[in-house]
Structure 1
Amino acid sequence: MKHLPRVHLNGLRAVEAVGRCGSLSAAAEELGVSVGAVSQQVIKTEAQLGAAIFERTGRGIRPTTLGRQFIERLGIGFQTLDTAVAMTRHDTDSVLTISVAPVFASKWLVPRLTRYTRAHPETKLRLEAAIGLAHPDSTDIDLAIRVGEGNWPGVKVEHLLPQEVFPVCAPSIAKALETPEDVLTAPIIRDANSNIEWDVWLKPLGLDERDLAEGDTFTDAALCLDAAIAGQGVMLAWHTLAHDALRAGQLVAPFRERATTRFSYWLITSQNRPEPARVRDFKVWLRDEIAQMMAE
């Protein structure tokens, strides 16, 4: 390693981040420093190397021919270092950090975690409720659970559960719903931020979302569920959202028909570092809980 003393490690890290992220601003955000600091590190590193790694254009910064080869090797090197450090941390760390969407956490996961902690008292859970996906290789996230199409790049993705949707409502409203056509005359609870349209369930039955009645609109699925429990109308729900309320009799699903969306639940972990035993244990427990829910 006779060449490494020529440059500072922080400078190499800045160069690799800019090359991988594609811009100074994106690299600065990842590294948690200012754009000016990243720029200075890149300039200083190029001076120490005696070679231009980037060329500056009116549209930004891009690697030179030498820079592309250099950044590729740097990426391999930093990934190897990261994996080595992760091995020591994750082999001894007893904390399992899980990132989940807030609605999934509050309406399904958290009420079941007591069973997990009883089975695995040696593991301490740390739950992060977030919508955006935090990359497990650049954060302390051990495992993420997300709904989507499973096409997240640079991570290990495992299918957990397809997302099926179906109408739910309070028992008092269900009395007037004898056939799917009756939904058209019932007050409808809508989630303004949902990417699932009522037509996903209606179209296969020969019905049209445009014929639905008016109703209340909320910007959160959990609030929609609370409104449905309160008897304000019919909402389009899914298993992990409505299961506990259905089991408790707070809601009913008046029809047998289910509609599969293009989305599913996915388990997301690092594809670069070894998977700790506590992550494997949580996956097994989670799949068992999902199977139990579906059986019920």
Structure 2
Amino acid sequence: MQHYPSIQALRVLTCFARTASVEETADELFLTRSAVTYQLRLLERSLNFPLMQRTGTRIGLSAEGLAYAHDVRQALNTISGSAQRYANRSVSGTLIICSTPGFAGGWLCSRIAKFNETHPDVKIILQTQTLLENVANEDVDAFITFGNGHWPEMNVSHLVDIRISPVCSPVFLHQYGMFKDPKDLSGVPLLNILGDETDWEIWLTAAGVDPFLARRGMTFHDGNLCFNAAVYSQGVALGDHFTCRAALESGLLVMPFELLLRGRRSYYLVASPAKAELPTVEAFSSWIKAEILASNADDGAA
């Protein structure tokens, strides 16, 4: 008969692989430190390879242990996802989401199929609008919008804060030469998103540059147009590093300066109190918050 490891021991392993700390693992799983080390030793005895490596009084995972923990994490995610798919079949109907173009194009569209996988009976319709803080369309079930979080008489859920810094294409950087100082931006086109010009002024001021430069260059009606212009080497845009992350990781865009500032606005999920209670909206709200959390965790690990 095949022997299966303890699920508790596997949970301890995946948590320890992520935290690299017995103390943090114990706190996160509400266990004692001795219980954590006991579960790891118990699991190691059931395996045919060294799970742990010890340096003095400290313990860590061996190379085999790290690889095994990765496989276990994927397996547990598969089990959890399978259960969720069957449980979510009770949620059905049409869900109309209206998002800012930058969030939809830069982040949501690359992940929306995951929602469909876990909620196969929900038909999702994704729209975009350029008036970022408008939540007045009664035909929309929920809005992904950008602002200060103040929408009276609406159900508002914070999704993610942003960090901003100039971004441009590698071709543009090669064409104009490496920027040695933010003042070098005075000689290149700046790309603005309509309504976000103040962000450029704030960043330039923090970098010790005349904020008047923000009034130069081109202005685009939505974020996708602005960042497409940056990708196609038309100038330097002020990048929101949450929605630009994929382009930065792939090399489509680069960050010529290290100065990152917290944005003055954030992304929110907004719905009327009545629509916030719809099973489809509740399912989407839970999914997108978990997906953003996982996305930020991956970014931190990277």
Structure 2 length as normaliser, TM-score?
0.59
* Residues 191 and 291 of structure 1: CA distance in aligned 2, closer, same or farther (over 3 Å): same
* Residues 241 and 204 of structure 1: CA distance in aligned 2, closer, same or farther (over 3 Å): same
What corresponds to 1:5 in structure 2? none
Distance 2:146 2:195 in 1: 14
Write the deviation string for residues 210-230 of structure 1: whole angstroms up to 9, x where unpaired.
256954443333222111111
- Listed as ranges, the gaps of 5+ residues in structure 1 are 1-90
- Report deviation, 1:235: 0.9
Distance 1:239 1:289 in 2: 16
Distance 1:207 1:293 in 2: 33
Residues 228 and 235 of structure 1 are in contact (CA less than 8 Å); yes or no, is this contact kept in structure 2?
A: yes
One-letter code of the match for 2:96? Answer: T
What corresponds to 1:271 in structure 2? 273
Distance 2:95 2:130 in 1: 19
One-letter code of the match for 2:153? Answer: G
Residues 168 and 237 of structure 1 are in contact (CA less than 8 Å); yes or no, is this contact kept in structure 2?
A: yes
Q: 2:202 aligns with which of 187, 200, 203?
A: 200
Distance 2:166 2:189 in 1: 12
- Report deviation, 1:109: 1.5
Distance 2:151 2:216 in 1: 36
Distance 2:225 2:169 in 1: 14
* Residues 172 and 264 of structure 1: CA distance in aligned 2, closer, same or farther (over 3 Å): same
Write the deviation string for residues 120-146 of structure 1: whole angstroms up to 9, x where unpaired.
21221122323453448xx34332111
Distance 1:212 1:195 in 2: 7
1:116 lines up with 2:134 in the alignment: no
What corresponds to 2:288 in structure 1? 286
- Listed as ranges, the gaps of 5+ residues in structure 2 are 1-89
Q: 2:255 aligns with which of 235, 253, 256?
A: 253
Distance 2:117 2:197 in 1: 36
What corresponds to 1:164 in structure 2? 163
Q: 1:222 aligns with which of 193, 209, 224?
A: 224
Distance 2:91 2:215 in 1: 57
One-letter code of the match for 2:162? Answer: Q
Write the deviation string for residues 34-87 of structure 1: whole angstroms up to 9, x where unpaired.
xxxxxxxxxxxxxxxxxxxxxxxxxxxxxxxxxxxxxxxxxxxxxxxxxxxxxx
Write the deviation string for residues 182-203 of structure 1: whole angstroms up to 9, x where unpaired.
3333332233443534121121
Residues 186 and 213 of structure 1 are in contact (CA less than 8 Å); yes or no, is this contact kept in structure 2?
A: no
What corresponds to 2:181 in structure 1? 179
- Report deviation, 1:268: 1.0
* Residues 171 and 213 of structure 1: CA distance in aligned 2, closer, same or farther (over 3 Å): farther
Q: Tell me, what secondary structure is at the counterpart of 1:262? A: coil
One-letter code of the match for 1:255? Answer: F
Distance 1:117 1:101 in 2: 20
What corresponds to 1:209 in structure 2? 211
Structure 1 length as normaliser, TM-score?
0.60
What corresponds to 1:57 in structure 2? none
* Residues 92 and 246 of structure 1: CA distance in aligned 2, closer, same or farther (over 3 Å): closer
> CA RMSD for the aligned pairs?
2.7
What corresponds to 1:30 in structure 2? none
Write the deviation string for residues 242-264 of structure 1: whole angstroms up to 9, x where unpaired.
22222221101122222223211
Q: Tell me, what secondary structure is at the counterpart of 2:120? A: coil
Q: Tell me, what secondary structure is at the counterpart of 1:196? A: helix
Q: Which has the larger radius of gyration?
A: 1
Alignment of 1:43-192 (within 5 A): 94-131=93-130, 133-135=134-136, 139-174=138-173, 176-192=178-194
Aligned length: 204
Residues 142 and 269 of structure 2 are in contact (CA less than 8 Å); yes or no, is this contact kept in structure 1?
A: yes
* Residues 221 and 273 of structure 1: CA distance in aligned 2, closer, same or farther (over 3 Å): closer
Distance 2:276 2:251 in 1: 43
What corresponds to 1:262 in structure 2? 264
Deviates more, 1:254-263 or 1:285-294: 285-294
- Report deviation, 1:265: 0.8
